Structure 1
């Protein structure tokens, strides 16, 4: 028997690829830097969220709410009463919600299915709990979901299937007809984790959120974030909704005092600022149309997007391309790490930032 500390390390936690978020701009030395690499809100954050956060900051010596009940009540209102307060769960970002779901449903040896290119934490976080990872890649070159492949990949050990719409980093989405067919065929003892953090930006006629499927009683958990539409990326706040049966089960591992008081108040403030949400969505959708037209003029291959970003096939090797744009004050992100080798993701910014990007690309 080994007497080294490594002998008690869990085998599935040995060093492997880890998720690395987008970088912040370097010191610019007076040079204007446009950060189009992290899918952040182009307008910043809601003024009402800022006001609520600053007010709450005066009380950070006091413990926050023991539960997330006030934020859940605000979400019920935001969803026009279509769900009840027991169907929401809040956490410190959408990523923590993913971790919470895996903790609730996965035992070592269970299987999870995801489809690369996708958000890397699906794989990284699954490994923390000893899950067997089953990658059913998106169909190339369309980046559409391989529904038949997923259904054929299900075994008796499958516990969670990750679906994302719109998908990061491809910007593609899952049409309603495809989801309807999928939920009619999936076994009833599998949880579908439906990542919809970019849902506000989708305008395709056949786009659909997870809400109708939750209301119909399907085993789906829809993940949302305050980082994108509401501009609260720095506050790390997110939520999910599901059937009451699933939500009340997950709530058993929801820690008391989990959410900082500043995050709670900022999120509630953001939900009350519908004009900011409308302005954000308008800015993104107009910017999306502008960039798509400009990419086409320049002959840059891109994929139609329903998110606040594009994935492109650059005319240069990905890191050479991103380095050259960085020299011109534009930060974009290579996404080999997300399962899209050679591709680059570009966030939609303000019109000023978008025009600076196109100017840099022309040069």
Structure 2
């Protein structure tokens, strides 16, 4: 008897909203500035590029069977405060999220996140049949709702996602808030602390996951090489946590997980302190410049600790996006991230920032 193949499909994978990444620059006769994907304003680390070029000659060979060389380089990057067995690597920060969820989530378990936030938290958890529990950030400043999250926890809660600085809002979680939260969250839950924009944060009370990992909490600091290091195209990321958690999660990692080129580029990037410093300087100067443009034009925006801003545009989000594109500026509407009506603008180099300012003035003051 012929049966419909859909009868064996997993019901929790029924068509629903999926994550759609930012668009690439379209073909055009004029200069287009891509301020929509939070990419590095200076390009890629020169030392990463040198390492990448050298690795190309070996792409006929299998890469390292494990990620140990990269993990050892990360130990040095963290000033030997962590050991190699405390790191987890993957093909982008997004894949590290996926690996974590595969390791801890069974069908009908619950995952907590706080919109507006990075959409893969909910999309990826759905792949494994988890219930998504959204405890929204608090208006008007996008503050973390600590009490709301704690009240949402039950015996099925397995993973909580926190993000600081947060994508797409650019806001952060103060240390006092994190301290309070980490002392109250049950020890049966894994807290994934997404800190991929940490290099750009300069608030005095900003904190990463590191002190909580060192204290032995069940927290995973999530990082990426796409932003600060300029390796978005190489798709490489990592997390750090307790050795107990990391060694457990590694049980489900495939051999030859990372491409040779990604391993070499990442190690090279970690050694490029001059490029990292220049990237951070460029972002912070650009952040100040663009904030002044918003102030001048009366644009509602939220102070950012990342390499982007979220704004409340003067027109409906798609109309604003289209108008800016007509002026050669790509920006990102973020309704899909849980911020309806808002638009995210990446900080570029000075040329791109000035082009953005000119376009915004033209759109606002035709």
Specify if TM > 0.5: yes
User: Unpaired runs of 5+ in structure 2?
Assistant: none
Deviations 1:155-210 (A, max 9, x none): 11000000000000000000000000001111110000110000000000000000
Question: Residue 19 in 1 paired to residue 19 in 2?
Answer: yes
Shift in Å at residue 110 of structure 1?
Answer: 0.2
Question: Residue 284 in 1 paired to residue 283 in 2?
Answer: yes
Residue of structure 1 equivalent to 2:156? 157
Shift in Å at residue 141 of structure 1?
Answer: 1.3
Q: TM-score, normalised by structure 1?
A: 0.99
Shift in Å at residue 2 of structure 1?
Answer: 9.1
Residue of structure 1 equivalent to 2:128? 129
Residue of structure 1 equivalent to 2:218? 219
Shift in Å at residue 87 of structure 1?
Answer: 0.2
Distance between the aligned counterparts of 1:187 and 1:308, measured in 2? 33
Residue of structure 1 equivalent to 2:40? 41
Distance between the aligned counterparts of 1:285 and 1:362, measured in 2? 22
Query: What SS does the aligned partner of 1:59 have?
Result: coil
Query: What SS does the aligned partner of 1:22 have?
Result: coil
Query: What SS does the aligned partner of 1:162 have?
Result: strand
Deviations 1:203-229 (A, max 9, x none): 000000000000000000110000000
Residue of structure 1 equivalent to 2:269? 270
Distance between the aligned counterparts of 2:345 and 2:229, measured in 1? 19
Distance between the aligned counterparts of 2:183 and 2:18, measured in 1? 35
Deviations 1:17-52 (A, max 9, x none): 1100000110012x0100000000000000100010
Residue of structure 2 equivalent to 1:250? 249
Distance between the aligned counterparts of 2:218 and 2:40, measured in 1? 31
Shift in Å at residue 3 of structure 1?
Answer: 2.6
User: Unpaired runs of 5+ in structure 1?
Assistant: none
Instruction: Select between 96-105 and 3-12 the one with higher mean Cα deviation.
Output: 3-12
Residue of structure 2 equivalent to 1:327? 326
Residue of structure 1 equivalent to 2:105? 106
Question: Residue 235 in 1 paired to residue 234 in 2?
Answer: yes
Deviations 1:86-127 (A, max 9, x none): 000110000000000000000000000000000000000000
Distance between the aligned counterparts of 2:304 and 2:194, measured in 1? 16
Distance between the aligned counterparts of 2:198 and 2:2, measured in 1? 51
Shift in Å at residue 4 of structure 1?
Answer: 1.4
Distance between the aligned counterparts of 2:185 and 2:97, measured in 1? 21
Distance between the aligned counterparts of 2:248 and 2:270, measured in 1? 26
Deviations 1:42-95 (A, max 9, x none): 000001000100100001000000000000000000000000000001100000
Distance between the aligned counterparts of 1:240 and 1:92, measured in 2? 11
Distance between the aligned counterparts of 1:323 and 1:349, measured in 2? 19
Distance between the aligned counterparts of 1:322 and 1:133, measured in 2? 30
**Aligned positions of 1:162-181 closer than 5 A:** 162-181=161-180
* Aligned alpha-carbon RMSD (Å): 0.9
Shift in Å at residue 11 of structure 1?
Answer: 0.5
Distance between the aligned counterparts of 1:254 and 1:75, measured in 2? 18
Distance between the aligned counterparts of 1:140 and 1:340, measured in 2? 11
Distance between the aligned counterparts of 1:351 and 1:302, measured in 2? 20
Shift in Å at residue 294 of structure 1?
Answer: 1.3
Distance between the aligned counterparts of 2:186 and 2:32, measured in 1? 49
Number of residues of Structure 1 aligned to a counterpart in Structure 2: 362
Residue of structure 2 equivalent to 1:3? 3
**Aligned positions of 1:78-93 closer than 5 A:** 78-93=77-92
Q: Which runs of 4+ in 1 moved over 3 A?
A: none
Residue of structure 2 equivalent to 1:294? 293
Query: What SS does the aligned partner of 1:134 have?
Result: strand
